[in-house]
Amino acid sequence: MNLSSLPPFVNETYRDFLIPEHKAAMLAALAQVRAELGREYDLQIAGHPEKGGPDKLLSYNPSLTTELIGMHQKATAEQAARAVEQAHAYFPTWNAVPAELRAARLFRAAAILKRRKSEFNAWMVLESGKNWLEAEADTAEAIDFCDYYARQMLRYATPEPLVQMPGEHGQLTYLGLGVGVIIPPWNFPLAILVGMTVAALVTGNTVVIKPSSETPTIAAKFMEVLHEAGFPPESFQFLPGSGAEVGDLIVSHPKTRFISFTGSKEVGLRIVELAAKTQPGQRWIKRVVAEMGGKDAIVVDSQAADLDAAASGVIAAAFGFQGQKCSACSRLIVDATIYDEFVAKLKPLAEALTQGPAEDPSNYMGPVIGAKAEKTVLNYIEIGKSEGRLITGGAKAQGPGHFIQPTIIADVESTDRIFQEEIFGPVLAVTKARDFDHAMQLANDSAYGLTGAMYSANPEKIARARAEFFVGNLYINRKCTGAMVGAHPFGGFNMSGTDSKAGGPDYLLQFLQAKSIAEKIIG
């Protein structure tokens, strides 16, 4: 297998659930998944299932808080340490497997995910509260990561030739690093888990996967995909557990070579700190690949071509998946000359959003992920009411789950907490800009720098935004969510992380080390 023999990469197509056959497939998958709810899942260490400590990790449906999705083990400290040791022991074997064979397994994983697309969608609907379309996009992105990273590994397996010195033969090869700790988030419970995991595996590394405590069942189901695709069971360890008991341990372990993390700024910075401290017996400087959230802004300029399109883009970016995306629009910055007109457009759009259990395809918005998130978001809403002017929402929504109304708060100042702090919920803070200079100043007034967008028809202002809007992913005249693998390499600046550019041509380099070899020609 080589890259030239493969068709070009193409993103997985989203299905239209208004088409009866696609709707029927989802309904059947939901029924299938419902029949599996409440079962117990084991740890996996070197291919062997194990029970954990006496306490169990229970996952519930955030749309129906009494419905148990899955029961999972909590790994002990001994099991966590052993998982790293087992992964370390198997690394030389897996790293020696030719890149073409590792990539072939990844293509098989993509095919399995395609076959089980409706099933994985259904698990996300029930365990993470994603609506049907958001779940479809999540599974499609997971498929894309497999197809894309397999191709990228083949590219690195035959790197561009070096400059050849007279009398020498020079080459550059890429090697895996060692054991990687994979710590994915709950908000993209399949796509980001898959992307982080397969990037590490296809580059020849072994992994210890510590799934999110909010969505462990989806992670357990993906372990089935890895098994079926032919990844050796020793190459990946499945280790649910508490961050305090096992998370810190596997990050700090001297045989851990790198940590791939997506989550909050606070946890990410702790991982960076733990990884930077060299442990007795450690023989390398650990790498950290981190994506740590955002406080993303959309700027609507006075010369925006279509205010209705801009308003629709803002609403979609702010309230898609209940605002629980690191790329979500949580700050809206509007030029003063159109401020009142534009804010007036937002209220009816937000109030028209349907909300309820994610299982019902007529609902655009579902629940926030859990009780802790609900409490945090509602607290921020109260803070926002004291800082700005409530336009709509502002309270818990009715229903048997963790539902919060889409909330818009206007007249927010840049010093206000809801302007500066990541809320991770359906809350949009709106701020007035005096002019375009002020808008750029406000957009960059954040510790984060993940995504941003600007609506304008003025080429000079667009050029300035390209140069001055300090984010890792900038979108012009479109919403700031919805990055596509291969098209929008994803990762941010400042406290948004290490600008990892997931789904881009350079991402795999973070899981590889380059070896330069020069051989003098004799005779």
β-strand partners of 510: none
Helix (H) or strand (E) holding 118: helix 117-128
Backbone angles phi, psi at 153, to 5 degrees: -65, -40
3-state helix, strand, coil in the chain (%, to 5): 40, 20, 35
Q: How far is CA 211 from CA 124, 197, 357, in A?
A: 14, 11, 24
Three-class DSSP labels, 76-99: CHHHHHHHHHHHHHHHHHHHCCCH
CA Rg, the chain, in Å?
Answer: 23
Cα–Cα distance, 72 to 51 (Å, whole number): 9
CA 134 to chain centre: 13
Catalytic status, residue 273: no
d(CA 332, CA 402): 25
Tokens of 520: 């003098």
Q: Please tell me which residue in 136, 214, 326, 359 is annotated as part of the active site.
A: 326
Residue with tokens 């978001």: 377
422 classed as catalytic: no
User: Within 13 Å and on the Cβ side, how many CA atoms surround 175?
Assistant: 14
Helix (H) / strand (E) element for 183: namely strand 179-183
How many whole angstroms separate alpha carbon 227 and alpha carbon 105?
Answer: 10
The three-state secondary structure class of 352 is coil
Catalytic site residue from 119, 291, 359, 374? 291
Compute φ and ψ for 290, nearest 5 degrees. -130, 135
**Residue type for 146, please?**
C
CA–CA distance, 495 with 476 (Å, rounded to integer): 23
Q: How is the beta sheet containing 43-45 ordered, strand by strand? A: 48-50, 43-45, 236-238, 206-209, 179-183, 256-262, 287-291
Q: What angle do CA 314, 121, 485 make, to 5 degrees?
A: 60
* DSSP-derived secondary structure for 24-75: HHHHHHHHHHHTTTT-EE-EEETTEEE---SSEEEEEETTEEEEEEEEEE--
Residues annotated as catalytic are 291, 326
